[in-house]
Amino acid sequence: MAVRLSHPFLSSSLSFPARRRSLQICKFSVQNPIPRSIETQKLVLEVKEKLEIEHPSLPIGRNGRDDEDMILWFLKDRKFQVEDAVSKLTKAIKWRQEFGVSELSEESVKNIAGTGKAYLHDFLDVNGRPVLVVVASKHFPTNQDPIESQKLCAFLIEKALSKLPTGKEEILGIFDLRGFGTENGDILFLKFLIDMFYTYYPKRLGQVLFVDAPFVFQPIWQLVKPLLKSYASLVRFCSAETVRKEYFTEETVPADFRG
């Protein structure tokens, strides 16, 4: 689907800031390895061998072509079809290498994170999922570097996945749309997010909450929804009160959603 850049709601980047912590390089890896049967282990080794033969230049080690937990996750995503898993995993590993995901740190994203437009919440939701919160009204794509926004997004996703409790595989995304205006709209970055979760972090997003969406958000949603495909079913429009009552306890609810 082509997106016309002349649309009044299209800006160039939406981002996700993290709260400041001490300097920390992203050395995150897939948490909670999927239980393996003899058959799935054979498929993992088959993918691993194919990657070694067909893509020997890909990096090895954590999140590399020989990372068996990562291979198994992509096999699961591709319904254990070896060729499909190899293709998608190759794209993901190349992207990680070219984007420099392993070099991302609190320090490298601190400027864009300082806008306060997104962060990883300190607590899990009631379903035991790490929570990414996006404050859309603090995003001004015409004044912010889209690449820096993308780096922040990747950093936060990596950090969220590193916080997964045992037995959990998905994260929760909350888009706080209170105060959202046309100057905050950014189809291109939303498209980037879709690509991230479909290609590079498949099946890691368990649910997306669009909180108190104003009328001006509706045209953007109509443009984005077809791009989401199956991911559209993960989206729930709800109120701040719903977030507070259904997804957190009084002690764990994000400060911006307290009553």
pLDDT tens, residue by residue, 168-210: 999 999 999 999 999 999 988 888 988 899 899 999 999 999 9
Q: Is 30 strand, coil or helix?
A: coil
The architecture in CATH of the region 110-257 reads: 3-Layer(aba) Sandwich (3.40)
The pLDDT of 83-90, averaged and rounded, is: 97
CB proximity list for 6: less than 8 A, separation 6 or greater = none
Confidence of residue 244 (pLDDT cuts 50, 70, 90): very high
The backbone torsions φ and ψ at residue 110, rounded to the nearest 5 degrees and listed phi first, read: -65, -35
Tell whether the model's pLDDT for residue 152 goes beyond 50.
Answer: yes
pLDDT value, residue 37: 86
Which residue ranges make up each domain of the chain? 38-102, 110-257
User: What distance in Å separates the CA atoms of residue 128 and residue 35, rounded to the nearest whole number?
Assistant: 20
Give me the sign of the Cα torsion angle 50, 87, 195, 126: negative
Please check whether residue 36 is in contact with residue 72, taking contact to mean a CB–CB distance below 8 angstroms: yes
The pLDDT of 164-169, averaged and rounded, is: 92
User: What distance in Å separates the CA atoms of residue 76 and residue 258, rounded to the nearest whole number?
Assistant: 38
The strand pair at 205-211 and 131-135 is best described as: unpaired
The strand pair at 131-135 and 118-120 is best described as: antiparallel
pLDDT value, residue 21: 42
Q: How many CB atoms lie within 10 A of CB 182?
A: 13
Please provide the average confidence, as pLDDT, over all residues in the chain: 88
pLDDT tens, residue by residue, 29-52: 544 555 568 899 999 999 999 999
pLDDT tens, residue by residue, 118-150: 999 999 999 999 999 999 999 999 999 999 999
- For the structural domain made of 38-102, what CATH number should be given? 1.10.8
pTM (2 d.p.): 0.83
Whole-number CA gyration radius for the chain = 19
- Report DSSP state, residue 186: -
